[in-house]
Structure formats: structure tokens, C-alpha cells
A = this chain, B = another copy of it.
Amino acid sequence: MINDLLKQNIKKNAQLSNSELEEICKHFYPESIKKKDFLLTQGELCKFEGFVLEGCFRIFTIDKKGNENTLYFAAKDWWLMDIDSFMNQTPSNLNIQALEDSKVLLINRTDKLALYESVPIVEKLFRVMSQKALVAWQRRLIRNHCETAKERYHYFATTYPNIASKLTDKQIASYLGITHEFLSKIKKQS
């Protein structure tokens, strides 16, 4: 079943019945995204939340100086969206691009908002998911402040080896917040 991975993922964050699980999952629809294609581009409204079945995505922004800055990567079994644009329905500052041919399950914003009402445990599900994400963001900010680029690179490469292996050094550098030239020099050192 195409929804199996999604169901397993949801079960990690909330205990729910099979009927609740069905009721939630039936609103997700599959989409295939070709390598280099975009699920969202800067300026659009984010009208969906997505779950990655296959492949890998990069969520990044391009700042005024023209530099790409990667917020995060989403591989198989990860969620993805621009939560800022989704919540506030303001134009997105983010691009969501497939790094390889990929498959996602999407839920429309209106369907998701309706689910909060019709299946109350969905509140708990996303409350728990959001809190876990919050912990991850706080930890990352502390690492950014306390560690050098070299330490951050090694942390990333060893913590997420299967994601790192799919990425170019340019993409990794834009996630670490350094130039790709400097990453090249870091890698040479050790």
C-alpha cells in the first residue's frame, strides 16, 4: 500500500485507531516530481503539506545578495512545507526543489485544516511533531553558534550520511551557511 510509510510515520507521533489513520491518510494524494523540478517557489502561497515517499528535496531561500541558503533537506520519511507561508498565507520566501526523481504525498491546506476539526487526534499529532521539530531547530541554532564550520560539517556528514551522500558540496555548504569554496578547503584539511 502506497500509504504504508506515511502510516508508520504518523504512528510514531500519536496513538490512533485504524479508522482515524484511514480518515487522515485518505486526504493525501501522490505526486511525482522530476529531478530539479519545484514543489514550491519563492513568491507563491504554500497551500499544501507534504510527506516524502521517495527521493530527496532541498528547501532553500535566495537572499537579496543572491546567495542560496538551505533551510533543510527532506528525504524519504520526512515532512516538508513552508510552515510560515502555510500558516500566515503570505508569499513564501522558500523554494522546495527535488534533488532527484521523487515521490511525495500531499495534503491540501483546506483539507488539513478540516482534519483538525473532524479528527481531533490530528491536533495531538501535529502538536507532537511541531514540538519535536522545535527541539531540532533549537539544537541546530546552538550548534551554529558554538561550533566552527568544520565541526558543523562533520556533525552533518556523520549524523545524516544517507542524505549527505545524495548532495553536492555546494548544497551542503548552503546548509552549513558557508561558501562551497570554503567547504572544499575544510574537506582537504582532514
A interface with B by C-beta (< 8 Å): 61, 63-65, 67, 69, 71, 83-84, 87-88, 93, 116, 120, 123-124, 126-127, 130-135, 137-142, 144-146, 177
Identical chains bound together, number? 2
Q: Which residue of B lies closest to A64 (CB)?
A: B146
Q: From A93, A116, A137, A139, name the one whose CB has the most chain B CB atoms within 10 angstroms.
A: A137
Could you write out 23 A-B pairs with CB less than 8 Å apart?
Answer: A61-B142, A63-B142, A64-B146, A65-B146, A69-B145, A69-B146, A71-B138, A71-B142, A84-B135, A84-B138, A84-B139, A87-B132, A87-B135, A116-B124, A120-B120, A123-B127, A126-B131, A127-B130, A134-B134, A134-B137, A137-B137, A140-B141, A141-B141
Chain B min CB distance to A24 (Å): 15
- Contacts A87-B132, A126-B131 aside, 16 further interface pairs with beta carbons under 8 A come to A61-B142, A63-B142, A63-B146, A64-B146, A71-B142, A83-B131, A84-B139, A120-B123, A124-B127, A127-B127, A130-B130, A130-B131, A133-B134, A137-B138, A141-B141, A144-B177
Given the complex of chains A and B, what is the CA–CA distance between A139 and B139 in angstroms? 15
| Residues of chain B within 8 A of A145, CB atoms compared | 69, 177
Asked whether, in the complex, the Cβ of A83 is within 8 Å of the Cβ of B127, the reply is: no
CA of A146 to CA of B135, assembled, Å: 22
What chain B residues lie within 8 Å of A71 (beta carbons)?
138, 141-142
In angstroms, Cα B139 to Cα A69, docked, is 12
Residue numbers in B under 8 Å from A123 (CB-CB)? 120, 123-124, 127
